[in-house]
Structure 1
Amino acid sequence: MKTAEKILILFFLVFSSTNLFYAGSIRTHNLFGDNMVFQQGSELLVWGWGEPGKNIKINFHNQTKSTSVNFNGEWQVKLKSENYGGPYELKIICGDTLLFKNVMVGEVWLCSGQSNMTMPLGGWGRVLNYNEEINNADYSNIRLATIPLTLAESPRKNVDVDGWYECSPQTVENFSAVAYFFARELFAKYNIPIGIIHVSKGGTPAESWMSEKALNDFPEFAEDIQFVKNGSSAEFVKMEMIYKQNFNDWLDTIYNYDAGYSPGSEWYKLNTDYKSWKKMLIPDVWENAGLKDYDGVVWFNRTIEIPDDWIDQQLILCLSSVQDYDITYFNGQKVGEQKKSNYLSEYSIPKGFVRNGNNSITVRVLDQYGNGGLWGRPEEMYMKNEKGEMISITGEWNYKPSVEFSKINKLPPERLLLDRKPTILFNGMIYPLIGFSFKGVIWYQGESNAERAAQYRDLFPALIKDWRVNMSLGDFPFMFVQLANYNAKAELPEESSWAELREAQSMALNLPNTAMAVTIDIGNNVDVHPINKQEIGKRLALLAMSKIFGENIVCSGPVYKSMEIFGDKIVIEFDSTGSDLMIKGNEKLLGFIIAGEDKKFYNAQALLDKNSVVVSSINVPNPVAVRYAWASNPECNLYNTGGLPAAPFRSDNWPGVTSNKNK
């Protein structure tokens, strides 16, 4: 189903008078349902809407409460807090009975952010060992609920929910990987029912998730807030549908300009002279092969020799992920296309397409913006026969650009990015959750604010305060993931918006009941989405176990405490959070840079001295500042003996590359 159509259907589900959960003349908020989890130790609020004056009785576990629908058509009851347990039934009686079964009481977590929180175990995410993880995800007392994308011009009282699901191999594949692995760690430790409410959207900045009131302190958002207020959910749906149609029309137009489809000399045909094409190693993005800032279409080809005993079998061709879209041919015949970026491009090759000896694979790749190409995971690039035997198709491929959008003045339609407007997701997806009790929040976001990192110093704490004020649950735990390493590695010290964003994230630790999971060792240079979501979930869970549940464990890596200058050396002290410092994977301690009064940084020699680090450089006789892991994708290897990495830091407060950016 097309995205715009999904949003349109969602609009009618949320804002029509019919509710999925109703009995006679009453209905409940959509988050109430079979398999749901209530937060233990907190007052349980049950509410909904109905015909004014109707009497309602609520039964749950050993409690019974009565109420009536008020003149505004609203009703609610407050039940006493419960200890963890279940399964129970929640009955709402008003003539007819609305019955919710298999309800548990345990720990409920709200999990939010952008695409790294959205990233599922399978699907486009495909986390580390994803097939094994999905097959083993049999935890009936971990319950999963996802709030779908909902754009709203003003705060909504209700939101669509696809239901609560018991965690199983059938339900977990498309669920948030970070949220699942976090829940799995807690469940394994405490054997208490865990409820996960997943509310995220890829590419979204923090301001999309904040209320208008909270953003009043940020006048730079005033114009966009007014745009949202002047719109309507129906208008947003219509705008998305028009954009989708314009985009499809643009894609059709590009075919007419593509030299690879020139009549009589199509590049997918076997008589094409591929030897004249340039070479590049696959997997990789084409920007690394010399096509810098190239947005357009590039054709790829390679020849592969098929064993004789494979000829009469149906084969599988897997290209891993293609950025953005591909059309794939085998021996001149089209075998498939993928129009979803990051999803697996995997195609069946009929028996009749396979030849003795050499066979030709040709892939047309279209990239709208950013990196493009056959850039996926090496282990996912193969030919496979019916017995499961595989031949790798990584290595040297031929490639040839066919059309660059800027040169034909045919750029893709400007993306609407409505979900990135301030307040629009808070209104549609966060505000409707007010009333539900939960233990705390885990948050994975920041990539879309990196170019405004200095602003994020104030924006992120304001978001945390905003949610706490609106939820009326006190200073509930708010744990977040610091951005992982990403992008090309720099050999020499340089300024970095991502380093500044990580620093801005760490400043939110000044708020009470907050904690940060450091992931500077989990990312990579190509994909902004680390696949080792298991470790990220584990590090968040360690924070929860220590700071919320009182476990005496090491939950954090070394954290910068202070520095002292001794001549040409700087001695750095750390809060090691319960264990000693160590160097991981290298005899040399990497990642430290120092500067003098001229503010010019140089790579430093760094030595461990018990629980201190001593740094120096022959280029800096009089150092005044030190930084660690200060790059988008730094080489760094300082850990504690608990196996957790040191947090990036700097001792100076000199203006950075994002100092004057707020839009």
Structure 2
Amino acid sequence: MSIFKNTKSLIASALCLLPWSLSAELSLPNVFGDHMVLQRDQPNPVWGRGEVGESVTVRIRDQSHQTVVGEDGRWRVVLEPLALGAPTELTIEGQNRIEFEDVLIGEVWICSGQSNMNFKLIKSDQGDLDIATANCPEIRLLRVPNKGTPIPQDDFEGAWKAATPNTVKYFSAIGYLFANRIHRAVGVPVGIIDNSWSGAAAEAWVPRKVLESAGGFEKTLADIDRKVAACSDEIYAEAMAAYKQWRADGKPAPHQREPRDYRYGNARAGNIYNGMLHPIMGYGIRGVIWYQGESNGGRGEEYGRLFPLLITQWREAWQQGDFPFYWSQLANFGPRSGPKAGTGWAKLRASQTQTLSLANTGEAVILDLGEGRDVHPRNKSVVADRLARIALARDYGYDFDYQSPRFSKMEQQGSSLILSFDPVSSQGLYAFGHDEVLGFKIAGVDGAYVDASAKIIGKHQVELSHPEVEAPVAVRYAWANNPKVNLQDKKNALPVTAFQAKLTD
């Protein structure tokens, strides 16, 4: 290890104790470090802090870039596109020298969202097997710790690590498994940056000013403001003291949760954007995979405006064009009957599917993978597979099916509805596990939905009918929080996407 590496380690330790913006030393945020992966075949920004007027030189391979620290104490250069090759070094030199070792060039993805993305590999189905086989030195992991704040942050505590059984154990299951699929298929190093936060609301990932300017979020913002106004340092201190006393008393009934300060939590508009996204904003990436929506499940229609706004805002702020943004749709969850068997998640799923109208987006439908009694289904491997299928087909040239069949049109034929779906593979639609197709409801002009008799006709069509509906005009499929459905593409087992439609639509 060089003397420069020792110096860099001391600087990094100091920066963990002080805000990055207060350091007078030449420095970089922790998104840069030993063992990192830089995105191949595209320009890569590198940035940091230093003394005003200080000359800075950044070198990698045969490239050398010079700049000067500006009046705001910041500097930035852009590396020319890098090709695959042996591990290399990135050096940054001014009044002091920083040297990052074992830098790989490959593919970089961000995995983001809430608890199902945050779900650890060790808890997932066959997690022990995935952990035992995780000796993958060309897969690199970076975790951004949870931090909510109304003030944009420049740095975080964290470091890149090579994938080993020890490092993947508590990493995002979907994030690691997705990276593993890409690495093994494409044969290049893969970096995966996890900045998910359990229970996070989507509005926390968007700057408040963006929500205000967009309009339509006044009710949500007013609710946030009421909750913020109800918080104070004194109230939080009293609640924490009571909680600590409860623990000291042996945790007597009733159970108490550790108090959280809403002002710095994961639901306030902009908090996660400022605390967890801003510090890595602009780092060269291939794209994003996302699994979120549970916390917005009661506001499905609003999500139809919020989710595309989030994606658009990230792309604009990243200044890297319309990079790929692929998400996992909400799985099935909750009771199938009774007062709690609602349709809020169905509306949110519809908003997720609607967001496919944005360029370079993709959706993994997982209506077959949920666990009705657990909001955290453990089968993360198939979720990762379906997201990887999208990326491999869209971004890496693999010629295979990657989209779930979606409703495309319908026509009325007497007392029946004929539905068409697209895309569908060469083997056509298939009713898994039953001769009968499950999950369809139809209605006449009175709007009263009843369970439909459904049968597959041809490779991409389904015929629906009900003896009490003489002239059906509307249809729903999988329109429930936890629908009982079985229609899929036979070749690849991708479930048909939930939807509702009317003949006038």
**TM-score normalised per structure 1:** 0.69
Match of 2:46 in 1: 46
Give 1:95-174 correspondences, 5 Å limit. 95-122=95-122, 126-156=123-153, 158-174=154-170
Indicate if the aligned counterparts of 1:154 and 1:229 stay in contact, CA closer than 8 A: no
Cα distance between partner residues in 2 of 1:495 and 1:112: 27
- Tell me the equivalent position of 2:19: 15
Give the equivalent residue in structure 1 for 2:7.
none
State the match for 1:630 in structure 2: 479
Q: CA–CA distance in 1 between the matches of 2:38 and 2:18?
A: 23
Q: Residue 606 of structure 1 corresponds to which residue in structure 2? A: 454
**Cα 1:552–1:628 shift into 2, 3 Å:** same
Within the alignment, does 1:192 sit opposite 2:226 as a pair?
no
Name the structure where strand makes up a greater proportion of residues: 1
CA RMSD, 1 decimal: 2.9
Residue 634 of structure 1 and its aligned partner are, at CA, apart by 1.2
The AA in structure 2 aligned to 1:542 is: R
Give CA-to-partner distance per residue, 1:109-139, whole Å, 9 cap, x none: 11110101111111xxx10011111111111
Letter matched to residue 623 of structure 1? P
Q: Which residue of 1 aligns with 2:94?
A: 94
Task: Note if 1:467 corresponds to 2:314.
Answer: yes
Which structure is larger by alpha-carbon Rg, 1 or 2?
A: 1
Give secondary structure in 2 for the equivalent of 1:27. coil
State whether residues 178 and 385 of structure 2, in contact with CA within 8 Å, keep that contact through their aligned partners in structure 1. yes
The one of 172, 177, 187 equivalent to 1:181 is: 177
The amino acid of 1:589's aligned partner reads V
Q: Is the CA contact 1:153–1:228 (under 8 Å) kept in the aligned structure 2?
A: no
SS class of match (2:87): strand
Q: CA deviation digits over 1:437-472, x for unaligned, max 9?
A: 111111100000010111111111111111111111
Give the whole-Å Cα distance in 2 for the aligned partners of 1:534 and 1:78. Answer: 36
- How far apart are 1:180 and its partner, in Å? 0.8
Partners of 1:152 and 1:255 in 2: CA distance: 31
Contact 1:492-1:602 within 8 A present in 2 as well: no
| Structure 1 counterpart of 2:198, from 183, 196, 202 | 202
Does residue 1:589 correspond to 2:427, yes or no? no
Contact 2:36/2:102 (<8 A) preserved: yes
Task: Verify: 1:441 aligned to 2:288, yes or no.
Answer: yes
1:255 and 1:144, CA in 2 relative to 1: closer, same or farther beyond 3 A?
A: closer
User: Which segments of 5 or more consecutive residues in structure 2 lack a partner in the other structure?
Assistant: 1-12
Query: How far 1:423 sits from its partner (Å)?
Result: 0.7
Q: Which amino acid aligns with 1:531?
A: R
- 2:29, 2:156 within 8 Å by CA — same for their partners in 1? no
Q: Structure 2 length normalisation: TM-score?
A: 0.89
State the identity as a percent. 35
Q: Do residues 647 (structure 1) and 497 (structure 2) align? A: yes
The one-letter code of the counterpart of 2:205 is W
| Residues 116 and 494 of structure 1, relative CA distance in 2, 3 Å threshold | closer
State the alpha-carbon separation in 1 of the partners of residues 229 and 453 from structure 2. Answer: 57
Counterpart code for 1:208: A
8 Å CA contact 2:175–2:384 kept in 1: the answer is yes
Deviates most, 243-252 or 170-179: 243-252
Which is richer in helix? 2
The letter for the 2-side match of 1:631 is A
Contact 1:593–1:601 (CA under 8 A) maintained in structure 2? yes
The structural deviation recorded for 1:168 is 0.7
Between the two proteins, the alignment pairs up a number of residues equal to: 485
Give the aligned residue type for 1:632: N
1:565-584 correspondence to structure 2 within 5 Å: 565-579=412-426, 580-584=428-432
> In 2, Cα distance between the equivalents of 1:608 and 1:453?
30
- Distance (Å, rounded) in 2 between the aligned partners of 1:164 and 1:420: 28
Question: Does residue 1:504 correspond to 2:351, yes or no?
Answer: yes
Assess, with a 3 A threshold, how the Cα gap between structure 1 residues 466 and 17 changes in structure 2: closer, same or farther. Answer: closer
- Report the residue type matching 2:486 in the other structure: N
Post-superposition Cα deviations, 1:70-106, rounded to whole Å, max 9, x if no partner, equal 2322112222111123311011122442110010111
Q: Determine the C-alpha separation between the residues in 1 that align with 2:245 and 2:325.
A: 44
How far apart are residue 596 of structure 1 and its match? Answer: 1.3
The SS at the match of 2:47 is strand
The answer (yes or no) to whether the contact 1:39–1:107 under 8 Å persists in 2 is yes
Deviation at 1:225, TM superposition (A): 6.6
Q: Matched residues in 1 for 2:235 and 2:17: separation?
A: 19
**Matched AA of 2:461:** S
SS of the aligned residue for 1:425 comes to helix
- Report if aligned partners of 1:14, 1:160 keep a CA contact under 8 Å in 2: no
Q: Structure 2 vs 1, CA of residues 53 and 414 (structure 1 numbering), >3 Å: closer, same or farther? A: closer
Q: CA deviation at 1:549?
A: 2.3
Secondary structure, counterpart of 2:241 in structure 1: helix
- What is the rounded CA distance, in whole Å, between the counterparts of 2:235 and 2:502 in structure 1? 46
The alignment status of 1:249 with 2:245, answered yes or no, reads yes
Question: Quick one: structure 1 residues 164 and 228, their matched pair in 2 at CA, closer, same or farther if it must change by over 3 Å?
Answer: farther
When residues 225 and 25 of structure 1 are mapped into structure 2, their CA distance, relative to the original with a 3 A threshold, is: same
Say if 1:253 and 1:562 are closer, same or farther in 2 by CA, change over 3 A: farther
Kindly provide the amino acid, as one letter, of the partner of residue 136 in structure 1: T
CA contact (8 A) 1:240 1:416 kept: no
For the structure 1 residues 532 and 10, does the alpha-carbon distance in structure 2 shift closer, same or farther, using more than 3 Å as the test? Answer: farther
Aligned residue in 1 for 2:33: 33
2:256 and 2:468 mapped to 1: Cα distance? Answer: 43
Aligned in 2, Cα 1:623/1:446: closer, same or farther, shift over 3 Å? same
Paired with 2:234 and 2:94, the residues of 1 have a C-alpha distance of: 38
